[in-house]
């Protein structure tokens, strides 16, 4: 039954990739289509409201600068609200202002689409903060990432001098994708008993006669955009393991599909932009192959259980249920774990700190590679970056100038790709090493040995990949962790974004090269294998030593 549940979800995703990818293409192709009649009037009103008279295309520099300035304004707005929270409306539970370094971490976390939470939502934020800051940034950060992905695809598939207009992409991402889908998912979740209210915390009398306080609030609205935008921050500290956020196996499947469908459809959208659907299917197939390997690993590891418990004579026939909800069991817990880190969502329906060593290796490795579907556009952009690298390496081996989609790949593009590839392991491994060398870093580690290494490594990997999930055994709500992870989140988000926009800006200006008999094709089985091989080789060269010290060493200790 567990395997059947997983297969049904996989089948739904594969069946919806083409129609959803086609819809996204029509939204951002800037060609007249039927969606204009539905959303056009509302969008024109927004353009007039924000004073956007010129919607002509931007160069990559202008696109990147506009993106950064928009995000800076949102950061300032959100920071002010959290620091003045107790004076704001919709605060029936009397929440105090958020501490300064925690505010810095929280704002950076949500503007970068990471949603790493060093606070517990039900005790740290008012309803106004949840809606005006957290949910607002869940929409805007997802729309920002989506816009960058579309601009990058335009750059490598189009021709001219521009890659699109950021404000137009940003507005369309909201009006035609995230807001309509969020309303639909919110209504579904409310119908399935997820709370949506502005009433204060409930005070009830238990069967034992004691008093219990039960936190409630606008949960369903946050849950919808949290997963649709691959954000991950929970209304409650327990995230989607909490019965109010995720009460049943059906809501669990809805949340899995919400965070997976849009990232899974983007490769097909890319194929439509490239006028070659095979290109999209090759990228999708490479992503799905890697995903199935990771999913199989975590499912097998958790189903097998902890050999140390079996050696003690404890019945582990049901697998490793530590940290998991009985209503989901191992199948839906393993699937959620694989999807949430593949899609860089960070939402959790089980505690990753309690996964078996090999089970914990799966979300860690998915975030290190950061190409297995990825968040809103991240996975596609990163996979195409590896595609460019793969073409370059193949060109070197056969003695030809490398070409990708009819454009020559030259030193400028490869330098930018190298920056994007190398910054990711650098901002993970360097802070991890520093944490072990300082008392401030070591003081938060709650487990000795390899598991403690995994805790720290996971925290910085999650921050760099803008995922947000964590090995929650780490005591991370300290100024040291708030500041260092905040810096890593900023670098992980914007350096790679700017580098890849620069690549798109460089390629879009190049003349197309005629295809010949010697052209290396990128829409066949051979390139599918090269793409997977490039990802795995680069990933192993950069992260394997750290993984050996953490989850692999822990697994070996279990015998």
Q: What is the pLDDT of residues 48-67, one digit of tens each?
A: 998 888 888 899 999 999 99
Report residue 444's pLDDT band, with 50, 70 and 90 as the boundaries. Answer: confident
Chain segment 29-38, per-residue pLDDT in tens: 988 888 888 8
Chain segment 520-544, per-residue pLDDT in tens: 888 899 999 999 999 999 999 999 9
Q: Is residue 228 part of a domain?
A: yes
- Tally of domains in the chain: 1
Chain segment 374-384, per-residue pLDDT in tens: 877 888 999 99
Q: Is residue 172 part of a domain?
A: yes
403 DSSP β-pair partners: 408
Report residue 208's pLDDT band, with 50, 70 and 90 as the boundaries. Answer: confident
Write b or e for each residue in 286-305: b if 16 or more Cβ atoms lie within 10 A of its Cβ, otherwise e: bbbebbeebbebbbebbbbb
Residue 65 tokens read as 């600068």
Q: Is residue 140 part of a domain?
A: yes
Whether the CB-CB separation of 333 and 320 falls below 8 Å is answered with no
pLDDT at 317: 67
From the list 236, 119, 141, the residue with the least C-alpha distance to 492 is 141
Q: How far apart, in whole angstroms, are the C-alpha atoms of residue 250 and residue 229?
A: 20
Average pLDDT over residues 230-254: 92
Write b or e for each residue in 310-322: b if 16 or more Cβ atoms lie within 10 A of its Cβ, otherwise e: eeeeeebeebbbe
What is the enclosing helix (H) or strand (E) of 408?
strand 407-408
Q: Is residue 493 part of a domain?
A: no
pLDDT at 305: 82
pLDDT at 237: 86
What domain range includes position 102? 17-273
Residue pointed to by tokens 């094709």: 521
For 374, residues 6+ apart whose C-beta sits below 8 A from its C-beta are: 263, 342, 343, 344, 380, 381, 382, 383
Q: Is the pLDDT of residue 316 over 70?
A: no
pLDDT at 135: 93
Supply the DSSP string of 323-379, one letter for each residue.
Answer: TB-TTTHHHHHHHHHHHHHHTT----SB-GGGS-HHHHHHHHHHHHH--SS-STTHH
Q: How far apart, in whole angstroms, are the C-alpha atoms of residue 461 and residue 96?
A: 31
Q: Is the pLDDT of residue 223 over 80?
A: yes
Average pLDDT over residues 390-416: 86
Q: Is residue 392 part of a domain?
A: no
Report residue 312's pLDDT band, with 50, 70 and 90 as the boundaries. Answer: confident
214 DSSP β-pair partners: 202
**Among residues of the chain, what percentage have pLDDT more than 70?**
99
Looking from the CA of 125 toward its CB, the CA atoms found within 13 Å total: 32
From the list 140, 168, 173, 179, the residue with the least C-alpha distance to 24 is 173
Q: Is the pLDDT of residue 321 over 80?
A: yes
Average pLDDT over residues 119-146: 90
Q: How far apart, in whole angstroms, are the C-alpha atoms of residue 269 and residue 282?
A: 12
Q: Is residue 407 part of a domain?
A: no
Conformation bin of residue 153: beta by default, left when phi > 0, alpha when psi is -120 to 50? alpha
Q: What is the 3-state secondary structure (H, E, C) of 134-179?
A: HHHHHHHHHHHHHHHHHHHHHHHHCCCCCCCCHHHHHHHHHHHHHH
Q: Share the mean pLDDT of the chain.
A: 91
Chain segment 165-184, per-residue pLDDT in tens: 999 999 999 999 999 999 99
pLDDT at 119: 82
pLDDT at 468: 87
For 62, residues 6+ apart whose C-beta sits below 8 A from its C-beta are: none
Chain segment 329-366, per-residue pLDDT in tens: 999 999 999 999 999 898 999 999 989 999 999 999 99
Q: Is residue 512 part of a domain?
A: no
Q: How far apart, in whole angstroms, are the C-alpha atoms of residue 47 and residue 210?
A: 55
| pTM higher than 0.85 | yes
Q: How far apart, in whole angstroms, are the C-alpha atoms of residue 440 and residue 428?
A: 17
Q: Is residue 242 part of a domain?
A: yes
Report residue 300's pLDDT band, with 50, 70 and 90 as the boundaries. Answer: very high
Average pLDDT over residues 375-401: 86
pLDDT at 12: 96
First to last CA, the chain: 30
For 493, residues 6+ apart whose C-beta sits below 8 A from its C-beta are: 112, 113, 114, 466
Average pLDDT over residues 446-451: 86
Q: Is the pLDDT of residue 215 over 90?
A: no
Report the greatest alpha carbon distance in the chain. 82
Average pLDDT over residues 77-97: 91
């Amino acid at each position: 039954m567990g395997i059947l549940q997983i297969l049904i979800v996989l089948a739904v995703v594969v069946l919806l990739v083409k129609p959803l990818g086609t819809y996204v293409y029509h939204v951002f192709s800037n060609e007249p289509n039927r969606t204009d009649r539905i959303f056009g009037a509302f969008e024109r009103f927004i353009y007039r409201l924000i004073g956007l008279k010129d919607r002509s295309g931007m160069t990559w520099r202008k696109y990147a600068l506009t993106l950064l300035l928009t995000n800076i304004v949102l950061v300032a707005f959100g920071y002010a609200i959290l620091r003045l929270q107790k004076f704001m409306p919709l605060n029936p539970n009397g929440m105090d202002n958020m501490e300064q370094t925690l505010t810095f971490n929280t704002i950076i976390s949500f503007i970068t689409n990471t949603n790493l939470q060093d606070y517990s939502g039900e005790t740290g934020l008012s309803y106004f903060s949840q809606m005006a800051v957290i949910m607002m940034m869940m929409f805007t950060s997802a729309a920002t990432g989506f816009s960058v992905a579309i601009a990058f695809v335009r750059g490598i598939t189009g021709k001219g001098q521009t890659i699109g207009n950021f404000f137009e992409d940003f507005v369309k991402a909201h009006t035609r994708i995230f807001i309509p889908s969020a309303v639909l998912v919110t209504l579904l979740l409310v119908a399935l008993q997820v709370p949506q209210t502005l009433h204060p915390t409930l005070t009830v009398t238990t069967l034992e006669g004691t008093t219990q306080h039960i936190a409630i609030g606008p949960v369903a609205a946050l849950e919808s955009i949290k997963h649709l935008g691959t954000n991950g921050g929970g209304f409650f500290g327990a995230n989607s393991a909490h019965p109010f956020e995720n009460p049943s196996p059906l809501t669990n499947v809805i949340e899995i599909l919400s965070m997976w469908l849009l990232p899974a459809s983007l490769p097909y959208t890319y194929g439509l932009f490239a006028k070659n659907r095979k290109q999209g299917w090759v990228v999708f197939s490479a992503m799905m192959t890697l995903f199935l390997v990771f999913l199989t690993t975590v499912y097998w590891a958790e189903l097998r259980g902890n050999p140390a418990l079996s050696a003690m004579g404890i019945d582990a026939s049901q697998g490793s249920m530590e940290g998991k909800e009985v209503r989901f069991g191992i199948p839906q817990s393993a699937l959620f774990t694989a999807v949430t880190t593949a899609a860089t969502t960070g939402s959790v329906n089980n505690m990753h700190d309690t996964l078996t060593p090999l089970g914990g290796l799966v979300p860690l490795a998915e975030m290190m590679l950061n190409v297995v579907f990825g968040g809103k556009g991240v996975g596609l952009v990163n996979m195409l970056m590896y595609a460019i690298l793969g073409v370059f390496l193949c060109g070197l081996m056969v003695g030809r100038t490398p070409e990708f989609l009819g454009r020559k790949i030259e030193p400028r593009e490869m330098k930018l790709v190298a920056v994007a590839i190398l910054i990711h392991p650098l901002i993970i491994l360097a802070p991890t090493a520093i944490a072990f060398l300082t008392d401030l870093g070591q003081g938060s580690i709650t487990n000795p040995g390899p598991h403690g290494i995994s805790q720290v490594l996971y925290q910085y990997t999650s921050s760099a990949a803008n995922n947000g999930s964590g090995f929650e055994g780490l005591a991370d709500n300290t100024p040291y962790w708030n500041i260092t992870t905040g810096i890593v989140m900023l670098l992980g988000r914007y350096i790679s974004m700017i580098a890849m926009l620069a690549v798109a800006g460089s390629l879009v200006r190049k003349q197309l090269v005629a295809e010949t008999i010697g052209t290396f094709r990128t829409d066949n089985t051979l390139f599918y294998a090269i793409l997977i091989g490039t990802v795995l080789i680069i990933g192993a060269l950069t992260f394997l030593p750290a993984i050996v010290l953490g989850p692999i060493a822990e697994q070996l200790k279990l015998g």
